[in-house]
């Protein structure tokens, strides 16, 4: 089950749920026992959000966070979108 808030922000829950609508901002799970990096990439490509921010990354150590940052940075460059991990306490304004 996923949650679409104001038709603008989508949290897919504990899965890569595909909503029945376009996604402007995606809260992207980037670490979980069920997660595979190839599925994360496929999910971002399928949903093609303007923005995606990492969630579910609290158990990662420094090396894991660097891996996620590199993966998200690569996706951002390829997609021309704001796709990244926010540091704890950071925030973004959504237009």
- Its domain, for residue 24, covers 3-84
Going by pLDDT thresholds of 50, 70 and 90, the confidence category of residue 45 is very high
Q: Which residues pair with 53 in a beta bridge?
A: 27, 84
Answer yes or no: is 37 within a domain. Answer: yes
Answer yes or no: is 39 within a domain. Answer: yes
Answer yes or no: is 90 within a domain. Answer: no
30's torsion region: left (phi>0), alpha (psi -120 to 50) or beta? alpha
Answer yes or no: is 41 within a domain. Answer: yes
Answer yes or no: is 48 within a domain. Answer: yes
Dump pLDDT digits (tens) for 61-89: 999 999 999 999 999 999 999 999 999 99
Answer yes or no: is 93 within a domain. Answer: no
Number of domains in the chain: 1
């Amino acid at each position: 089950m996923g949650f679409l808030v104001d038709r603008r922000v989508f949290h897919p829950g504990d899965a890569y749920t595909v909503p029945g609508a376009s996604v402007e901002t995606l809260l992207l799970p980037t670490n979980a026992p069920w997660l595979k990096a190839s599925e994360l990439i496929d999910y971002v490509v399928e949903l093609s959000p303007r923005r995606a921010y990492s969630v579910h990354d609290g158990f990662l150590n420094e090396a894991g966070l660097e891996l996620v940052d590199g993966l998200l940075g690569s996706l951002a460059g390829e997609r021309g979108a704001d796709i990244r991990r926010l540091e704890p306490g950071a925030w973004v304004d959504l237009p």
